[in-house]
Amino acid sequence: MSNYPHPIIAREGWPFLAAALAASMVVHGFWGFWWALPFWLATLFIVQFFRDPPRAIPQDPKAVLSPADGRIVAVERAQDPYLNRDALKMSVFMNVFNAHSNRSPVDGEIRNTWYHAGKFINAVMSKASLENERAALWIKTPCGADVTCVQVAGLIARRILCYAQTGQKLTRGQRFGFIRFGSRVDVYLPPAAVPRASIGDKVYATESVLALLP
């Protein structure tokens, strides 16, 4: 749960990378390069999927940072199903070519966590927010704002990893979880928050500003 520095390949990927590398080397050694080529390509895919590069952290205390790499698929007024309030909802969709490490969008204390088992429909669809497997964090910022950050599984993603616990304090950009193989992260903000990203924008975890808190 510490900030950088940490290995540039996420620890969640080490077993996959070790297995792929071993298989590639064995096939290459016994049958040659061309037979091993699909295995080497799979190894390269695993390296790019589990990459976890360092990011520069914007210092504006009111900035809500993107919790994930991907594309904005929702900027809308919605009901926060966890805190039962009106909210500004912003959603980031991650495809299999995005980095999948999830990072805290704000500084704050985790007041509660939730986990819901569910379906695995395409995470780009709006109903995925309420029907898919998901894990949610309620973060209270130092200025008293409530931010709900929700990891949502997708059509291919079948494993949500969330390491944050109630009572823990997160700093902006701090790594708190990982979702394997394509997914979505929803952020519910106070209604008065001002969006700084639009639908279709490409965003990067920690570096991109989604919105400004009131």
Report the SS3 class of residue 113. strand
Query: Is the Cβ–Cβ distance between 164 and 177 less than 8 Å?
Result: yes
Amino acid identity for residue 82 in this structure = Y
Q: Which of 24, 66, 91, 183 is catalytic?
A: 183
Closest CA to 72 of 179, 205, 174: 205
**Could you tell me which of 185, 163, 164 has the C-alpha nearest to residue 112?**
164
Active site residue 183: yes
Peptide bond into 214 cis (omega under 30): no
DSSP state of 51: B
Rounded CA gap, 188 and 173, in Å?
17
User: Residue 185, Cβ neighbours under 10 Å: how many?
Assistant: 27
- d(C-alpha 185, C-alpha 178), whole Å: 11
Phi first, then psi: give them for residue 167, nearest 5 degrees. 95, -15
Catalytic positions, please?
183
